[in-house]
Amino acid sequence: MFTPYLALLLAFGVWPIVVAAITSFEPSILNPGGGPLNYLVVLQDFRFLPALINVGIFLAMYVPAMLIVVALMSLLLDTVQGRWNLPLRLTYLVPASLTGATAVLVWYFLLEPTLSPYQDALAALGITQGTQIWQAQNLGWIFVLMAFFTGAGNWIVVQYGSLQSIPDDILEAARIDGANAVQIAWQIKLPLIKKYLVYMGILVFAAGLQVFVEPQLISASVYPGLAANWSLNQLAYTFAFQQNNLGGAAALSLMLLVVCVIAAVFVIFRTDFFDGIGVKRK
């Protein structure tokens, strides 16, 4: 059973990492000697620290917003039974179908005062020109909005599925003991789906750390240069395809991978992720 997965893991997971590791030591225009100095060249690049700060701010807003809102909305969805449950689940999935370039285009029209269906509301706030919104200091929350609305719906449905795995006798016992809906949600349901939320948090963090599409498309289309090298992944793209520095791009990509792995291992071993029961024994 494990063989197909192992083969795919080696072919599309381990081997690309090995190739990237070898490439990260290759000579480049900026570092003709190659070797570990490629990593230092990346860290000393004048665009690295601003990109790191941008991604850090993005993650500080994006990850908590996803975890809190998804957990809350999935708990609310779990309370809705009957004929409205299915339409609500489909409603959550609709925004998730707008990803990548489509999501960027939709949000551009929503936030562009001259095109937006909410231009009256924007005018009431004194916003009549796109340049009032599309400014460098606003890019963080704009990209968070884009990423949140394209990803939250899927995770709400996934976490709703995890709530359905809770045995009915546990919930019924809590009701017999006098627990109300809030107490059941907070003290019973959330602890029992905690490992699923941890899993979601790891993937959301990894996706946020590698944010690329939103700033790249905005910077390459409607507002040229506005978000150039805004994220670390964009900087790796610039190294690889605009500066012919594959060593630097591979080095930066591997650094992102290491951060993801360390964060995932830390979270997994600080929680009961591998505990089969799901709640800690007293």
| Closest residue by Cα to residue 63 from 263, 253, 257, 268 | 263
Query: Measured between alpha carbons, how far is residue 21 from residues 33, 206, 235, 257, 263 in Å?
Result: 16, 19, 18, 11, 20
Please give the mean pLDDT across all residues of the chain: 89
Please, is 266 exposed, middle or buried when counting C-beta atoms within 10 Å of its C-beta (0-12, 13-18, 19+)? exposed
Task: Express each pLDDT in 174-228 by its tens digit.
Answer: 999 999 999 999 999 999 998 899 999 999 999 999 999 999 998 888 888 889 9
Q: What percent of the chain has pLDDT over 70?
A: 97
> Residue 278 has what pLDDT?
47
**Residue 94 pLDDT > 90:** no
Task: Express each pLDDT in 216-256 by its tens digit.
Answer: 998 888 888 889 999 999 999 999 999 889 999 999 999 99
Task: Express each pLDDT in 25-56 by its tens digit.
Answer: 998 888 888 889 999 999 999 999 999 999 99
How many CB atoms neighbour CB 113 within 10 A? 19
* Tokens linked to 111: 């936030």
